[in-house]
């Protein structure tokens, strides 16, 4: 079942088992065997990677696990977080379509439902001079898995009670990803940034965070063009990169 797209998912590799779809996609690039939109899908990753070097837990055959190769040369290196925004919104769109209307995006690119993780995104970029040459978009989305080692994870089935067709969910995700990517390519950066903020977990709410091993009270007020989280702490606006601040859930 191929998606109704122009290029994303039209070149498709399915591997029943692999270490990492991002690693497989990287090998296709190295061998010059991938066109833009090339997609690698697996039922089981043995060494799936998440943000900050974390592993990705997924029960075989019950979730979406894939990587897509893009060539966003229209983005300057300093604009790479806009790709993060577009991809996050595509996964967010899919989750909302499945009836999970309270879903949110947790900065920088996790998908959450009522404080629990539904999915995650890992983007690995290759920079050519001042622009992005290639991007490998890794997406993991919990669909039908019921039990997790971590109490902070959940799935769409856990929320809705419905068993979903993983293949159809995958196809729809690729369609929505292309839609958001083409929006980005057509210069809709400001629009997408605003949508991202409106979907952001704990946006404009006061909550505890961990900064330099200290618990602080802060309020997320935005995300700058470099992808840094803008948080107001003790009436001062501070900006944090990915590993410099942690949520306390």
Say if residue 54's pLDDT is above 80: no
pTM above 0.85, yes or no: yes
Which pLDDT value is given to residue 210?
97
**Residue keyed to tokens 């995104």:** 121
Say if residue 177's pLDDT is above 80: yes
Close Cβ partners of 198 (under 8 Å, ≥ 6 residues apart): none
Q: How confident is the model at residue 57 (pLDDT cuts 50, 70, 90)?
A: low
Which pLDDT value is given to residue 49?
64
What strands, in cross-sheet order, belong to the sheet with 39-45?
12-18, 39-45, 63-70, 131-142, 116-128, 110-113, 103-106
Which tens digit of pLDDT belongs to each residue from 178-189? 999 999 999 999
Which pLDDT value is given to residue 56?
58
Say if residue 140's pLDDT is above 70: yes
DSSP string over the chain? ---S-SSTTTSEEEEEEES-HHHHHHHHHHTT---TT-EEEEEEESS-B-GGG-B----TTSEEEEEEEE--TTSBGGGTHHHHHHHHHHHHHHHHHTT-TTEEEETTTEEEETTEEEEEEEEEEEEETTEEEEEEEEEEEE-S----SSTTB--HHHHH-PPP-HHHHHHHHHHHHHHHHHHHHTT-HHHHHHHHHHTBTTBT-EEEEEETTEEEEEEEEEE-TT-PEEEEETTEEEEE-TTS-EE--
Distance (Å, whole) CA 85 – CA 227: 9
Distance (Å, whole) CA 56 – CA 19: 11
Give 110's strand partners. 106, 120
Distance (Å, whole) CA 169 – CA 193: 25
Which tens digit of pLDDT belongs to each residue from 85-128? 999 999 999 999 999 999 999 999 999 999 999 999 999 999 99
Kindly report whether the peptide bond that precedes residue 119 is cis, defined as omega within 30 degrees of 0: no
For the chain, what's the residue count?
249
Which pLDDT value is given to residue 129?
85
Q: Read off the pLDDT of each residue in 8-19 and give the average, rounded to a whole number.
A: 97
């Amino acid at each position: 079942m191929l998606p109704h797209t122009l290029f994303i998912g039209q070149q498709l590799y399915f591997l029943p088992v692999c270490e990492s779809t991002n690693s497989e996609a990287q090998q296709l690039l190295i061998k010059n065997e991938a066109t833009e939109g090339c997609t690698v899908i697996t039922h089981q990753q043995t060494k799936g990677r998440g943000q900050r070097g974390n592993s990705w837990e997924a029960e075989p055959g019950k979730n979406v696990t894939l990587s897509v190769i893009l060539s966003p040369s229209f983005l300057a290196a300093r604009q790479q977080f806009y790709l993060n925004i577009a991809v996050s919104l595509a996964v967010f769109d899919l989750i909302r379509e499945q009836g999970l209307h309270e879903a949110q995006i947790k900065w920088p690119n996790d998908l959450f439902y009522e404080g629990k993780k539904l999915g995650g995104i890992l983007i690995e970029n290759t920079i050519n001079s001042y622009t992005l040459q290639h991007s490998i978009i890794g997406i993991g989305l919990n669909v039908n898995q019921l039990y997790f080692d971590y109490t902070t994870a959940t799935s769409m089935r856990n929320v809705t009670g419905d068993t979903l067709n993983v293949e159809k969910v995958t196809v729809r995700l690729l369609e929505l990803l292309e839609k958001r990517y083409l929006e980005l390519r057509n210069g809709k950066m400001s629009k997408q940034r605003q949508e991202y903020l409106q979907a952001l977990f704990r946006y404009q709410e006061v909550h505890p965070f961990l900064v330099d091993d200290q618990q602080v009270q802060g309020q997320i007020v935005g995300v700058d063009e470099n992808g840094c989280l803008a948080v107001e702490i003790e009436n001062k606006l501070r900006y944090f990169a990915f590993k410099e601040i942690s949520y306390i859930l």
